[in-house]
Structure 1
Amino acid sequence: PETEWLRGTFAAQRAGIVIRQFRARGFYPQVEPGDIAPFGGALGAEDKITLTTPEPAATLYYTTDGSDPRVSVTGAISPTATAASGPVAPPGNLSFLLKTRVLKDGVWSALTEARFTSAVPPAAAALAISEIHYHPADPTPQETTAGFTDADQFEFLEITNRSAQTVALNSLRFAAGIDFDFATGSQVHELAAGASLVLASDRGAFAMRYGFEPAGVFANGTRLANNGEQIKLVTASGAVIADITWQDNGDWPEAADGGGKSLTLLAPASGSDGTTASQWRAAAPTPGAVVETLTFADWRSDFFSTDELADPSISGPQADPDHDGLPNLLEYLTVSHPRRASPAPLTVVTLPEPGKIRFEWPVRPGTAASSVLLQLSPDLQTWSASLTAPTSLPTTQGVVLMQVDPALSSSHGFARLTGNIVAP
């Protein structure tokens, strides 16, 4: 009962009692402050803010740039302040701090302020861990002289907003991999559509190597492992935004392990969740800049040595170094591995309707100037493109699934995929 009384009665009444005591001694103005409704939070594009004052014959002044409506020392009306005369429309910026004071007979009220934002809550569809630089290159002589002697000091993670809306970040934290809480550790609390931010192991080391400061620094001395680990980003309620368990071997790009390259998510905008090795490549670090398109030339350099790149019988578009029947061009277009035998990417699905079938195949998202076409033949001699246009279905696995239900003129036949690309 005592606890309930403290919370429900004493604490609820105490603020008003203290203010009356302060006023009796001249420590708090007699003019009542204004009211803000809603009192902060998210606003839609058409929403308005209502400002009211309980004081008769008084004027409420407000600012939306974070400044005080009252000029310090002189008590004059700030040139940035506006007299409230009706509902207030949000300014054009993504978030803002609204400050109000009431002026009556030359006396100002206490300050009332509320923070507003147009950002939406975080969701897995909106945010992606787009780069993991877990084993950076060793420090240069200049970096060593500056006191950055450990390659681990240059580690970083990149997070990208692939949605069309600004996303609020304060509810996010890492539950595995590193320690970091956006509410307390980040200098960035909202991420604009298409923008990226970086969290780094060491602020000074990162700034020296890349020329700008990260949004935050890994907490409690945590670092990224060099031999693979789980990285998990969650909300305050426990909802999973990203959960990636990467390795430094197997199908995962090994060039990111100590060669100075980063694990870079392919085509984040396509909805890739980063859970499979095929969604990543090893590339030069590009913190804060997301590259959506992987060219055929870049893809070849990921899988073939300098000598092999000079030999078209190994790395050329028609070569088949793993002897699985798929030339390198189709391996690239269908997100397959040219050094490991892969099953055919074309799948046939029997539909419930009599005589109807569906062909499905994966295509690399954002592939520059390329296409994969379905061709049909009755005899393996004469081939023609399917006259039915395929539909595309984005997935979370780093591919776009193509589907087509062709009109068949015979109960039997053959199908194949052909690839075309314009070299960059």
Structure 2
Amino acid sequence: MSSDPWGRVDETGTVYVRTADGEQVVGSWQAGTPEEALAYFERKYEGLVVEIGLLERRVKTTDLSAKDATTAIEHLRTQVDEHHAVGDLDALKKRLDKLVEAVESRREERKAQKARQSHEAREAKEKLVAEAEELAASEQWRAAGERLRALVDTWKSLPRLDRKADDELWHRFSHARSAFSKRRKAHFASLDAQREESRKAKEKLVAEAEALSNSTDWGATAARYRELMADWKAAGRAQREHEDDLWNRFRGAQDIFFQARGEVFAERDAEQRENLTRKEELAVEAEKLLPVSDLKGARAAFRSINERWEAIGHVPRDARPKIEGRMHAVERAIQEAEESEWRRTNPEARARAAGLTGQLQDAVDKLEKQIDTARAAGNNAKADKLGRELEGRKALLDQALKGLEEFGG
């Protein structure tokens, strides 16, 4: 008979293992010595030790699922319970019990993590829905449309909730997008219809202007052309592809008439030259309004100058573009000052400019930290790449800061 601390072989070749519940039969060995029998079943035990050790590492270091881990534990527990090995089987059972506890703990952790992720995803989607519903009422068609498309991309990146909750939130989200799209479509359809009406109105004005172009009733026809010009301005803009052509025809018809009238009234050249002198004086007076420092005063002064300008009458045809160009330049400068003042006092534009500046500053700060981290880690290639990106962001930040300065801060 042969034995060791965990097992023995009796005179009949029966192998036993010692456990907390007493000796258990391992098997029968008839092919060799008792020592060989014990060595064989000890190797079986070592194999179980190795398998349990591998499973412990997998549970600890990999994302092995709780279901797969439980199946593996039960498989090993069956082998331990069948007593086909010689060794400290009770110690193996305790290790398997601890593995069960570890797997259950991980299961609870994952369950809690999944619950947290679901809660966070729900909050994120509720925020997306709230923003989409707010945007649905916006008339900033381009900006709101781009933001809604960005919200869709964000939605797709979030995990799904339970089916009912996800469907309810998506229904609200989709409804908000549809409502915005319908409003935008209706707006542009109305705008297209308005421009089509403008085109039809201007077609009629052009037809009448062209019909009058050969008139010799100088006074009445000139007055009618002034009325037609007022009607033209009141008609609004036609579609872009029609507006310039209609204007060229309209202006061309007037030019034909006024050129003919000018030829007939050649004797009035002296009067027109005098008109030119007076308009040049008004142009000088108007140009003194620049640069605009008092917008309200400049507007009033220019209006007065323009009324006197309109009252003067025609100037020699070859001088008209230059002298009118000088007045138009002053008018444009005043208009630009008005637009600048509007932009400067527009709180929404100021808020957008400030928000953009803040975002760019955050991006610059983040890139500088990343560059420092890369340099410290010896990753100069990454640091250089980030440095090039930083230069671009700083350039954008400089532009944003200059834009913000227009708002007085």
- In our comparison, the structure showing a higher alpha carbon Rg is 2
Higher RCO (Cα < 8 Å, 6 or more apart)? 1
Richer in helix (by share): 2
**TM-score, normalization: structure 1?**
0.19
**TM-score, normalization: structure 2?**
0.19
